[in-house]
Amino acid sequence: MNVMLPTEGSEALKEALESVDRILIVTHVNPDGDAVGSVLGLRGILEAAGKRAEVVLADDISSKYQFLIDRPVLHVGDPLLSSLTEEDLFQIVIFVDASERERVGSVLDRLHTWLVEGAPEVNIDHHISNNRFGDIVIVDPERASSAELVMCVAQELGIELTSGIADQLFAAILTDTGRFQYINTDEHCLRAAAALVEAGADPSRIAQRIYLERPVLFYKLLGHLLSTIELYHDGRTCVMTMPRELVANFFPDGNMDSEGIVDFTVQMENIEVGIFIRQTGEGVYRASFRSRGTVDVQRIVKAFSGGGHESAAGCEVFGPQEEVKERIVTEVGKWLP
C-alpha cells in the first residue's frame, strides 16, 4: 500500500518506536470522526507492529462512531490507569488530531502520571493552527485528515492494514472531508480512501452507520434549529443558534449529538461563512465555523482563542447570547471580501 506521500517525521517516529514497547495515544476533547478513526486505526497499526498501545480519551465516543471500536478505550479516571506500576508506564505518547497539547483536555493534567520520565511526545496532526509541539512532529496542514498521516506511519512501519483498521481510517477521512465534499477533498485523500477500500473498508456500511441512523428526535430538533437561521452581511453570513432550553426539550439527559448541524449553515445560495452557536453552560457558547472557500475561518476564530482549518474551525465565546452573536458576526464582517 505505498500510496501515501512520505511525510516529515514519520521516519523519526519509526526509529523512536524501535526502542519502546508501550505506547499511549491521545486526541482532542469531544473526539470527531477523524479523531476516533485515527486513534483506533493507529492503535491497531501499532499492535500489528508488536507493541502494546492504549487510547486514553477525555470524553466518550459518540454513539455513531461506536461501531468502529474493536477493543475498549480507556478514560481519564480508569482504574487501569491509576494502578499502573513502574513497569507498566507508557514510554511514548502520541497526540493525534490535536493542534495544541491543551486540546486533549483533562487527559493533559494526568498524562505525566501514566508516562515514564522523559517519554517523548509525538504530534500527528493536520490543523493549520498546529503549534508544532512535541519531540517528533508529523504535521501536514495540506492533508485533509489526520488519518492520512496515520496511514503514512503504517506505510513507514511496513504494516498491512486489516479491514477493521481500514474501516476506522476510512470513517476518519469520510467525516473530515464532509463525505468528500469540503474544499480539502483532493487527490491525496481520495487515493488514500481507495487504498482503504482495497484493504477491505466498506464505504456504504460506514456512511450508513454514521449518517443514516440518527435518532428521529435529532431531526425534530433540527427543524427548530433551521428556523433560528439569521443572515447578515447581504446574506453572505449565516448564523444558527441553539439555546440550552431547546436541547433540554428534546434531549433531557443532555446527550445530544450536534456534529454536522453546522453544515446546514453553508448549504444555501450566496453564503460565504456559516456559524452554529451552541450554548454549553451559563454564559458559555461553543461556535462552529464553516467557510465556502473565500474566507479563512481559522483566522476569524483566533480572535476568540479558537483554532481549526481554513474551512472549518471552532472556539468558545463567553457572555450573554445576543452579545456573543454580535461579537461573532462583527468579527466575520472584518474578513469578508
Residue among 17 and 25 whose Cβ is closer to ligand 5GP: 25
Shortest distance in whole angstroms from residue 55 CB to ligand 5GP: 17
Residue among 17 and 94 whose Cβ is closer to ligand 5GP: 94
Long-range residue pairs from 131-138, CB within 8 A, at least 24 positions apart, any chain: 131/99, 131/100, 133/95, 133/100, 133/101, 134/95, 134/101, 136/9, 136/12, 136/13, 136/16, 137/8, 137/9, 138/7, 138/8, 138/9, 138/10, 138/13
Tell me how far apart the alpha carbons of residues 236 and 258 are, in angstroms, rounded to a whole number.
Answer: 23
Q: Mapped to the 3 state alphabet, what secondary structure does 134-191 carry?
A: CCEEEECCCCCCHHHHHHHHHHHHCCCCCHHHHHHHHHHHHHHCCCCCCCCCCHHHHH
With the C-alpha atoms ordered 39, 45, 49, 50, is the resulting torsion angle positive or negative?
positive
Binding of Mn ion by 125 (CB under 5 A)? no
Shortest distance in whole angstroms from residue 52 CB to ligand 5GP: 28
Sites for ligand 5GP among residues 252-291 (CB under 6 A) = 262, 288
Sites for Mn ion among residues 238-277 (CB under 5 A) = none
**The three three-digit cell numbers of residue 186, written as one number:** 483532493
Quick one: which of 28, 43, 64, 188 contacts ligand 5GP (CB under 6 A)? 28
Quick one: which of 24, 25, 34, 155 contacts Mn ion (CB under 5 A)? 34
Where b means 16+ CB within 10 Å and e means fewer, 135-157 reads: bbbbbbeebbbbbbbbbbbbbbb
Question: From residue 145 to residue 184, what is the string marking binding to Mn ion with x (rule CB under 5 A)?
Answer: -x-----------------------------x--------
Query: Quick one: residue 180, left, alpha or beta (phi over 0 = left, psi -120 to 50 = alpha)?
Result: left
Helix (H, G, I), strand (E, B), or coil: what is residue 237? strand
Q: With contacts defined by CB under 6 A, how many residues of the chain interact with ligand 5GP?
A: 18
Shortest distance in whole angstroms from residue 126 CB to Mn ion: 6
Cα angle 157, 40, 60 (rounded to 5 degrees) comes to 155
Residue among 46 and 312 whose Cβ is closer to ligand 5GP: 312
Shortest distance in whole angstroms from residue 2 CB to ligand 5GP: 28
Sites for Mn ion among residues 47-106 (CB under 5 A) = 97
Question: From residue 32 to residue 51, what is the string marking binding to ligand 5GP with x (rule CB under 6 A)?
Answer: x-------------------
Question: From residue 286 to residue 315, what is the string marking binding to ligand 5GP with x (rule CB under 6 A)?
Answer: --x-----------------xxxx--xxxx
Please choose which of ligand 5GP, Mn ion, none residue 307 contacts, taking the beta carbon within 5 to 8 angstroms, the exact cut-off set by kind: ligand 5GP
Footprint on this chain of ligand 5GP (rule: CB under 6 A) = 28, 32, 99-100, 103, 127, 129, 262, 288, 306-309, 312-316
Footprint of Mn ion (CB under 5 A): 34, 97, 146, 176
